[in-house]
Structure 1
Amino acid sequence: MDKTTSDSSPVINIFVASHKDVEYPESSILRPIQVGAENAPVRFKNVLHDDEGDNISDVNPMYCELTAQYWAWKNADADYYGFCHYRRYFDFSGTPHEENIYGEILDDYIDEGTIREYGLDDEHIANQVEGWDVIVSPVNSVRRMDGYANLKAHYSSNKHLHLKDLRHVYDILCRRHPEYRDDADAVLNGHEASFCNMFIMRKDIFFDYCEWLFPLLDEFTATTDMSYYDVEGLRTPGHLAERLLNIYLKHQLRMGKGWKVKHLQCVHFMFPEKTQSLKPLNQARDNVADMNRIVPVVFAADNAYVPMLTTTLYSLMENASRGFHYDLIVLERNISAYNKTLMQNMMAQYPNATLRFFDVDPIIGDYTLTTSNAHISVETYYRFLIQDALPFYDRIIYLDSDLIVNGDVADLYHTNVDGKAIAAVRDLDFLGNLNMPDGKRREYAENKLGMTNPYDYFQAGVLVMNLKEMRKLHSVAEWLTIASDPDYIYNDQDILNQECQGKVVYIDYAWDVMHDCADRVKNIFSFAPAPAYKAYLESRKEPKILHYAGFDKPWKNPWCDFAPLYWQYAQHTPFALQLMAQVAGIEPPHTPAHHERVIAEDSPIRKYADKLAPIGSKQRELLKTVARKVQGKE
């Protein structure tokens, strides 16, 4: 790769090492490179590959991101060489950001907002790099991190690494470069270093560093038996390089090189994976050509609600017509890959269905959304995203995940909603409360929701949404801004009733039969206007959709109203045992946090530790050191 430039500005290449196909900022300076490409199952498009030209791609399991450094050394030509990771970038904004004790700024996604915030564009990068000799991440203290005495103790604390390997590379270094001994001792016996193996260097410095580093690591790997190391243990050369970088820089500066060294903060993106966009089903699947025969049904759920969602999906397809294809789309942000696979495997028995997932977190993360009911989750707001997430649909069905489908939703989908925004069932619970003597619900409906006829209030768990009209009412940003108001009783349902007045088609109660939660049929529904109450009672005889709205759920109380019908479907899903466990009150196992804390977040002594020894104080460092010794970690 030849060095080219249109003016006198230096050429800066910052290589972004990745073994995943992720999002990258658009930049001529940031150069994504697939590491371990030689043995990768998939070759990424539109990126560099570390197995081309002179390379060591085959040793990527040991050398990690160093295979990108080697490739750049041997194949690229620039004035500045830099390296970061697919999830960790330098902050080029010039604006300080709050960081955690590990010296990282934490953020979620690589998107337009974060690219602006952290200056991940050519102009900001060039402004921060030009004129400097070396740029590394901020110096951080392992005492601040977790109370380690020094870098050797920090290295040894990793249960996958072996302190003998650090001693071995130290011996190799001292034999090859005895002038580095004092610097190695100072770094390894000290408690400060720049971490993450990220740096930017002038060409001559980078070449000198590579000529020094790789022979050390090559001798280490040639003289170390790692045959029985685990996966993380095999990455030992990468871990060693992180320490060697600090030794190299300390020595060069002690020798009076006079380099201009800058420290830039490191931003760690938690979710760098590509954000997907859904396509029309006739483009996504070759065997679905007729869009007129497609019935799109949208759900919203999180990982904890997967067993219930799967029951809903199973019931829907057991009653679906073979004459239609059902595009089942789940709006989610944390459903595990394993659970998605189980759901996909179950749905494979239905050739007239496609199950797809859409991660909403990049869209919804900027809004403060809360619910005022314990049995309502923030996933309920995801329906406001549908009009943008599915631009190729003008009409969809939306279903909650705490229901079972007992009829063919294709019939519901073909409800005439021309000129209207929503088709829904009137809410008997709300209508009954309107007739209560205290008048509180009527006052709320008229004053908060501004409803001219509160008896038109609908239940939002089953909807036919005319997206053309919904888009006319509000943009997604406007819907979510309204939803950020915490004073609604029924959250998004109240908002939809408020904003869609006069644009609602009211459908048969059989399409959203709410079960009898805590005797509400007698105590609340019976207070509703007589025609509505009688229609509801009639709908209970042959419900097309049975909705377990409220706190009394069949996976919590198998004696609740219509629970046998629910379990008739639930028993056939891969999550039946998990639902049964919930009936028995068995909680799912807890997943420990990524970083083990010396003093746990929920420790009863933590609040006293925070008062007596604030984070960052000398007392705190002493306290953590003592705690590590007591726990045998020092």
Structure 2
Amino acid sequence: MNNEVAGNKPRIKIFVSHRTDLISDTIDNPVYINVRCGAVYDKENKSKLQGDDTGENISYKKPNFSELTVMYWAWKNQEADYYGLCHYRRYMSFSEQKFHEDIYGNVECKYLDSKAIKKYGFNDEKLIYDTVKSNDFVFTTVDVSKSGYKSVYQQYEKVPFLNISDLETAIRILKKDYPEFSKAADKYFSGKIFYPCLMFVMKKNLFDKWCSFIFDILDKTEKAIDVSNYGADTQRTLGHIAERLFGVFITYLMELHQYHYQKLQRVLILHPEKLLDIIPFYKDNAIPIVLTSSDWYIPYLSISLESLCKRASTNYNYDIIILNVGITKRMKELLLKAVNDYDNVHITFYDVSRIVDGLDLRGNMHIGVASLYRLLIPRVCKNFRKVLYLDSDIVVCGDISELYNVNIDNMLLAAVHDADYCGEYNGGNPIVKKLCLEKLKLKNPYNYFNAGVLLINTVAFNYSFEANYLIEMAQGGNYIFMDQDVLNIACQGKVKFLDFRWNVLHDCFGIRVSQMISKAPMHLAKLYFESRKNPKIVHYAGGEKPWINAGCDFSELFWKEARQSIFYEIILQSMASDTCNMVLAGRNLSFARRVADRVLPKGSQRRELLKKVMPRGSWQFEFLKKMYHKFTI
């Protein structure tokens, strides 16, 4: 019996069509029934959602019918008083508030998170029931004239991958077999109001009529047109035709003047992918290693990773996790190819956009924003007992498994003393001591560590700090060494110090050793100098890198690795391009000045900070002045 007739709460089911190749966010509301579209082709079912391939179905037609296969499955296999359809990235807003729309009629929303769900009434069952019950059908619209089209017909005609003759075939079939819809078809296609995306909720009797109408026409159209040689987009022609004929059906109902209906806004989720936990890829003998990168830094990260793989023990599996924002498909493919010969290496690219969205994260000096992502490691790697973090500007010269097997029980992390920082604190850079005392307030500044190589006890971190504690602490960019300063503040007293050989800093710009490390406490300076003889990891920390100055300290190790990498030519091209740009931008400027203008752009926060660190008259300023006269082109 119909629940509405019986006076009970009506059964409303809005079926959400999901892709099988993307795990998307869902709404925790029984009104929404999440269904995989074309599930017959999805044997893994990673999303664990219901498929459209059970009972009576046309799941196999997904390449041509798109979300219509979900609608068909609902029609043949589900019972409800109201049926609806929407998509994993498009939902109808049930909010009483009016939101700004783009020219395509979309209300843009970044993520389908708790804020969005509340904002658009997706989880407000009462609001949804009240809206649906008071109407026979609801739908969304867009005025095509806002995007430059004269009519709905012209809008279809101008789509590059669609053929207007196919739509005309469907219209002829409609007018022949359903003549009562002819006037509605003429009015709709000559008009400017488009009812897009097959999004609606309607009463059962209307849904039955709609499905009988559209699948009959599509069946006849499918036989009348040939899509066998169409491209991937054009293969979905029947789905596009159904989208247009939905408008004819709605126009017909409205012209009868016997139904109640309401136009709702359409919410477009820009990033519908679900934020998943990182799950260990290997079950046994695994070493998780985290790096961070931007797209343009991937070639240099690859050198770090390739050097690691060459020397890593074959007794272990290496679970490589790259925290990033927006690495391109091309760079991902190249990096995977670079390590393809290693059967015990797996790479996961983990986009942290959603986590850092809205946070005030800033780079500083030569430190990019991507470096700050390491502060997310305890949160995103909570399924690992401990993880190894490595900067992306290193060359690994030893077996990394030895480092991972260091015992850090009862510690937050293990790291190497930063002899450079200690030398700056001891007079190499007076501003460092001032900020250390006033802002960092470290109990023992000589226990400051470099964060380029870290062995992190994720269990201890998550026990000691809230999930976003570290990343929120770094907001605003009020530290010289950014996330490194944050980690030193948070971890003091809970750090196990490693052999210096696991993080040997190169002699950046030829002044780090003579002007900084030489001023460090004698025992730290001695350990640093000893480590240079047999480094296990060389770290190109600072503004001078081998790909900026090919002859910098320890550069021979980098280039030995780079010459064997598939990224070698990309690195050379980038160097040549940067050099040409610097020459063209300032033919009469010195090499040192051009490098400075690239690393420290005029007017930038980092350039102003450097002026404070190296004021006129200081030995640092005088050194750079000598460099200016020495390196000219």
TM-score (norm 2): 0.82
The answer (yes or no) to whether the contact 1:14–1:31 under 8 Å persists in 2 is yes
Aligned to 2:246: 245
State the distance in 2 between where 1:411 and 1:438 align. Answer: 35
Which position in structure 2 is the counterpart of 1:49? 51
In 2, the alpha carbon distance for the partners of 1:563 and 1:102 equals 53
CA positional deviation for 1:496 = 1.0
CA contact (8 A) 1:557 1:583 kept: no
Change (3 A) 1:507 1:51: closer
1:196 aligns with 2:197: yes
Residue 520 (1) aligns with residue 511 (2)? yes
Q: Secondary structure at the match of 1:13?
A: strand
- Determine the C-alpha separation between the residues in 1 that align with 2:467 and 2:179: 64
The 8 Å contact of residues 408 and 414 in structure 2, kept in 1 or not, is answered as yes
1:427 deviates by 2.6
Find 1:385's aligned residue among 376, 387, 402.
376
Kept in 2, the 8 Å contact 1:558–1:583? The answer is no
1:33 lines up with 2:35 in the alignment: yes
Cα distance, 1:83 vs. partner?
0.4
Deviation at 1:106, TM superposition (A): 3.1
* Aligned twin of 2:75: 73
RMSD of aligned alpha carbons: 3.1
| Structure 2 counterparts to residues 223-234 of structure 1, below 5 A | 223-234=224-235
> CA distance change for structure 1 residues 80 and 449 in 2, over 3 Å: closer, same or farther?
same
Give secondary structure in 2 for the equivalent of 1:442: helix
How far apart, CA to CA, are the structure 1 residues paired with 2:30 and 2:48?
13
Q: How does 1:116-515 map to 2 (within 5 A)?
A: 116-121=118-123, 123=125, 124-137=127-140, 139-144=141-146, 146-257=147-258, 259-280=259-280, 284-285=282-283, 288=284, 294-336=286-328, 339-340=331-332, 343-344=335-336, 346-347=338-339, 349-373=341-365, 375-436=366-427, 439-515=430-506
Q: Is the Cα contact below 8 Å between 1:483 and 1:491 reproduced in 2?
A: yes
**Which secondary structure does the structure 2 equivalent of 1:277 belong to?**
coil
In structure 2, C-alpha distance between the alignment counterparts of 1:396 and 1:538, rounded to whole Å: 27
Instruction: Kindly provide the CA deviation profile for residues 365-408 of structure 1, in whole angstroms up to 9, marking residues without a partner as x.
Output: 353322223x4333222222222333344433211111111112
Give me the whole-angstrom Cα distance separating, in 2, the residues matched to 1:448 and 1:263.
56
- Select 1:558's aligned residue among 547, 550, 568: 550
Segments of 5+ residues of structure 2 without an aligned counterpart are: 580-633
Q: Secondary structure at the match of 2:229?
A: coil
Q: Percent identity?
A: 35
Are residues 343 and 184 of structure 1, via their aligned partners in 2, closer, same or farther at CA, if it must alter by over 3 Å? same
In 1, the alpha carbon distance for the partners of 2:452 and 2:474 equals 17
Instruction: Give 5+ residue unaligned stretches, structure 1.
Output: 588-634
Aligned counterparts of 1:463 and 1:520: Cα–Cα separation in 2:
25
1:616 is matched with: none
Choose the corresponding residue for 1:64, options 41, 45, 66: 66
Q: Which residue of 1 aligns with 2:535?
A: 543
1:48/1:536 Cα in 2 relative to 1: closer, same or farther (>3 Å)?
A: closer
Aligned counterpart in structure 2 of residue 567 of structure 1, from 559, 573, 581: 559
Deviation per CA, 1:456-506: give whole Å up to 9, x if none: 322111112233442344212222221223322221111112222233333
Distance change >3 Å, CA 500–CA 345, structure 1 → 2: same
Letter of the structure 1 residue corresponding to residue 164 of structure 2: L
Instruction: Give the Å deviation of 1:93.
Output: 4.2
Deviations 1:530-553 (A, max 9, x none): 443343333222221111122322
Match in the other structure for 1:594: none
Pair 57,487 (structure 1): closer, same or farther in 2 beyond 3 Å: same
| Amino acid corresponding to residue 370 of structure 2 in structure 1 | E
User: Do the aligned partners of residues 586 and 74 (structure 1) sit closer, same or farther apart at CA in structure 2, a change above 3 Å counting?
Assistant: farther
Q: Which amino acid aligns with 2:67?
A: E
Aligned residue in 1 for 2:87: 85
Is residue 107–residue 268 contact of structure 2 (8 Å, CA) maintained in 1? yes
Counterpart AA for 2:249: Y
- Could you say if the C-alpha distance between residues 100 and 457 of structure 1 is closer, same or farther in structure 2, counting changes exceeding 3 Å? farther
Matched with 1:101 is 103
Amino acid across the alignment from 1:488: Y
Q: Deviations over 1:106-133 (max 9, x none)?
A: 3344444544444333725434423221
Structure 1 length normalisation: TM-score?
A: 0.82
Q: CA deviation at 1:437?
A: 7.6
2:408–2:457: 8 Å Cα contact kept in structure 1?
yes
Q: Partner letter of residue 165 of structure 1?
A: D
SS at match of 2:16: strand
* In structure 1, C-alpha distance between the alignment counterparts of 2:148 and 2:28, rounded to whole Å: 39
**Post-superposition shift, 1:11?**
0.7
Q: Secondary structure at the match of 1:27?
A: coil
Aligned residue number for residue 10 of structure 1: 10
Q: What's the CA shift string for 1:157-196, capped at 9, x where partnerless? A: 2110122223333333333344444433332222222322
Counterparts in 2 of 1:340 and 1:434: CA distance versus 1, 3 Å: same
Q: How far apart, in 1, do the equivalents of 2:157 and 2:497 lie?
A: 67
- Aligned pair count reads 574
C-alpha deviation, 1:319, in angstroms: 2.0
CA shift, 1:249, in A, is 1.5
Q: Secondary structure at the match of 1:160?
A: coil
Q: 1:163 to 1:504 in 2, by over 3 A?
A: same
Deviation at 1:340, TM superposition (A): 4.6
What's 1:623 paired with?
A: none
Are 1:297 and 1:328, in contact at CA under 8 Å, matched by a contact in 2? yes
AA aligned to 1:169 is A
Letter in 2 for 1:552: E
Q: Give the structure 2 partner of residue 533 of structure 1.
A: 525
Is the partner of 1:486 in helix, strand or coil?
coil
Q: CA deviation at 1:202?
A: 0.8
Q: Aligned equivalents of 1:226 and 1:467: distance in 2?
A: 54
Superposed, which structure 2 residues align to 1:595-610 within 5 Å? none
SS at match of 1:235: helix
Taking structure 1 as reference, are residues 33 and 323 closer, same or farther at Cα in structure 2, changes over 3 Å only?
A: closer
Determine the C-alpha separation between the residues in 1 that align with 2:46 and 2:557: 48
Deviation at 1:307, TM superposition (A): 2.5
User: Is the contact made by 2:379 and 2:468 (CA closer than 8 Å) also made in structure 1?
Assistant: no
